[in-house]
Amino acid sequence: MTESNRSHSPSLLRRLTAMLYDALLVLALVAVVNGLALGAVVAATDGEQQVLNAHLAQLLTTLSIVLFFSIFWVKSGQTLGMQTWRIKLVDFKGGPPTIGKSILRCLGAFLSAACLGLGYLWCLVDRNHRYWHDYISGTELILLPNREKPEDT
C-alpha cells in the first residue's frame, strides 16, 4: 500500500468491531458443526458414547473457522462483519485473495493471536498498518469508501 493509500486502511477499532461481528457467527457455526458431530457419534455408538473426542472437536473447530473465512474471502473479499464495517481483504496488488492465501491468512492469524495478540497489535506500529498474518499471506485489509445513498425520486 502506498503512502497515499494509508488513509484507506481501516482503524484497529473498526477491525476489532468487524471481528466481533464475525466471532458471533463463527461461534454459532462451531456449535452447530460440533453438535452434529456429537449427534453422529451418539448415533454410531447407539448412545454408549456421549462425549465428542477432544481432538476431533479441536479439528472440527479449526476447520470450521478456516472454511468460514476462506469461503467468504475468496467469494467477495469480505465476511459479513467486514461488509458491515466496509472492510475488504485484497492481495498486495489489490486483487482478490486466492484460496491458498486465504487459508495461509487464517493459519497466520492463529499465530498472531497465540503470541498474546501481538500479531494483531502490530498494525499500530507498522507503517502499512498490516498484521503479521498480512505479511505471511500477502494480503491486507482496506477501507472501502462510503456507500452512495440512493436519491429520492
CB contact at 8 A, 30 and 64: yes
Whether pLDDT at 70 is above 90: yes
pLDDT score recorded for residue 153:
57
Q: What is the pLDDT of residues 28-65, one digit of tens each?
A: 999 999 999 999 999 999 989 889 999 999 999 999 99
CA atoms of 141 and 129, how far apart (whole Å): 9
pLDDT at 57: 96
State the CB neighbour count (10 A cutoff) for residue 101. 22
**Span 73-106, pLDDT tens digits:** 999 999 999 999 999 999 999 999 999 999 999 9
pLDDT band, residue 151 (cuts 50/70/90)? confident
Q: What is the DSSP track for the chain? A: --GGGGGGSPPHHHHHHHHHHHHHHHHHHHHHHHHHHHHHHHHHTTTS--S--HHHHHHHHHHHHHHHHHHHHHHHS--HHHHHTTEEEEETTSSPPPHHHHHHHHHHHHHHHHTTTHHHHGGGT-TT---HHHHHHTEEEEEPPPPPPPPP-
**Percent of the chain whose predicted confidence (pLDDT) is above 90:** 87
